[in-house]
């Protein structure tokens, strides 16, 4: 056998079409105030995953990418009660200070101060309420319901409930285009905001983590309304406006995912990593 070489037939060409990423900009969240939780990056890497194992080399199949939400990896002690998020930055009713201690400046405290501001024209009027503790407790209770709703939304596309595949590795595809395809939402926002991260993903056709990194944030909005008729307490002429909070989950290393913990007795069971 002779392996002949004719270098006069060598060719070179450059593509006129560049490979593209399906990206989407993070939607704007218009909120009155930002409140934060520090959470472990490692937990989110374990929960939000994807798989690219297509061998057809076309862009016609909605199942080319598979999106996983492994809620069996969600820590039992990670509770996202928005009432207990700390109003660290961006227009709290009152900022942390010598008078406003950090342990008493969470969403629940901020909202009671907001009620005082709207009803009495001063955020310092909270002591005029005869039931401050009951107001805080109701906010924590409603926040616990919201935290449960968050878990329910994630579980709707989890490893046991998603529309495709077999438990315990069920997944969603690009056919699910709504906002409930959470790993898809994250992956597309990475493609839009930090495409260089895809240069470092694992060289595998298997399941791997969405490329989240330290100090990334995952954000959602919570809107809180005063009780019906609350404005009548001081004969205010109109209902109290809804106050909105951007809840910002800041992804930290395991050793740095600590946070200021509110000191009310009913907070412990509704706070992230409270058993850690």
Does residue 101 lie within any of the structural domains? Answer: yes
- pLDDT score recorded for residue 63: 64
Residue 268 pLDDT > 80, yes or no?
Answer: no
Distance CA 189, CA 175 (A): 17
* Mean pLDDT over each residue of the chain, to the nearest integer: 84
Does residue 2 lie within any of the structural domains? Answer: no
Does residue 21 lie within any of the structural domains? Answer: no
Burial of 211 (0-12, 13-18, 19+ CB in 10 A): buried
Does residue 73 lie within any of the structural domains? Answer: yes
Distance CA 21, CA 208 (A): 17
- pLDDT score recorded for residue 6: 52
Distance CA 124, CA 190 (A): 42
- pLDDT score recorded for residue 255: 86
Per-residue pLDDT of 16-74, as tens digits, reads: 564 555 777 778 888 889 998 899 999 999 999 999 866 554 554 566 789 999 999 99
Q: Phi and psi for 220 in degrees, rounded to 5?
A: -150, 165
- pLDDT score recorded for residue 18: 46
Domain count, the chain: 1
Does residue 276 lie within any of the structural domains? Answer: no
- pLDDT score recorded for residue 4: 43
Does residue 4 lie within any of the structural domains? Answer: no
Supply the range of the domain harboring residue 220. Answer: 26-270
Residue 253 has a CB neighbour count (10 Å cut-off) of: 12
- pLDDT score recorded for residue 261: 74
More confident residue, 265 or 219: 219
Residue 256 has a CB neighbour count (10 Å cut-off) of: 14
* Mean pLDDT confidence for 253-276: 69
Residue 202 pLDDT > 90, yes or no?
Answer: no
The candidate with the shortest Cα–Cα distance to 103, out of 218, 275, 264, is 264
Q: Work out whether the CA dihedral 246, 36, 268, 113 comes out positive or negative.
A: negative
- The full DSSP string for 90-130 is S--SS-S-SSS-GGG-BHHHHHHHHHHHHHHS-GGGGGG-S
Per-residue pLDDT of 80-121, as tens digits, reads: 888 888 876 678 888 878 788 888 889 899 989 999 999 999
- The full DSSP string for the chain is ------GGG------SS-------PPPP---SEEEEEEEEHHHHHHHEEEEE---S--S--TTSEEEEE-GGGS-TT----GGGSEEEES--SS-S-SSS-GGG-BHHHHHHHHHHHHHHS-GGGGGG-S-HHHHHHHHHHHHHHHHHHHHHHHHTTSTTTSSBS-TTS-BB-TT--STT-HHHHHHHHHHHH-GGGGGGS-SSSS-EE----TT-EEEEEEEE-PPTTGGGGGT-SSPPPPEEEEEEEEEE-GGG-------SGGGGGGSTTTT-
- pLDDT score recorded for residue 14: 46
Percentage of the chain modeled with pLDDT above 70: 83
- pLDDT score recorded for residue 13: 47
Burial of 158 (0-12, 13-18, 19+ CB in 10 A): buried
- pLDDT score recorded for residue 78: 87
Does residue 211 lie within any of the structural domains? Answer: yes
Does residue 275 lie within any of the structural domains? Answer: no
């Amino acid at each position: 056998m002779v392996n002949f070489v004719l270098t006069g037939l060598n060719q070179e060409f450059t593509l006129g079409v560049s490979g593209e990423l399906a990206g989407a900009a993070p939607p704007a969240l218009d909120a009155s105030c930002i409140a934060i939780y520090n959470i472990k990056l490692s937990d989110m890497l374990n929960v939000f995953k994807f798989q690219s194992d297509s061998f057809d080399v076309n862009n016609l199949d909605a199942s080319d990418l598979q999106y996983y939400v492994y809620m069996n990896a969600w820590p039992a002690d990670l509770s996202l009660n928005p009432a207990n998020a700390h109003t660290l930055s961006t227009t709290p009713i009152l900022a942390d200070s010598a008078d406003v201690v950090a342990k008493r400046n969470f969403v629940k405290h901020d909202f009671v101060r907001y009620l005082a501001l709207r009803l009495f024209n001063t955020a310092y009027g909270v002591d005029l309420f005869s039931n401050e503790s009951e107001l805080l407790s109701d906010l924590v209770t409603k926040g616990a319901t919201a935290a449960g709703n968050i878990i329910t939304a994630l579980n709707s596309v989890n490893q046991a409930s998603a529309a495709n595949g077999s438990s315990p590795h069920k997944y969603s595809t690009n056919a699910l285009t709504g906002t409930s395809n959470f790993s898809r939402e994250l992956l597309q926002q990475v493609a839009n905001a930090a495409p260089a991260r895809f240069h470092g993903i694992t060289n595998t056709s298997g399941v791997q983590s969405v490329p989240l990194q330290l100090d990334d944030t995952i954000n959602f909005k919570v809107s809180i309304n005063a009780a019906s008729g609350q404005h009548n307490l001081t004969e205010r002429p109109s209902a109290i406006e809804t106050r909105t909070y951007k809840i910002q989950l800041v992804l930290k290393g395991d050793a740095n995912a600590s946070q200021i913990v509110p000191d009310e007795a009913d907070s412990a069971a509704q706070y992230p990593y409270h058993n850690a």
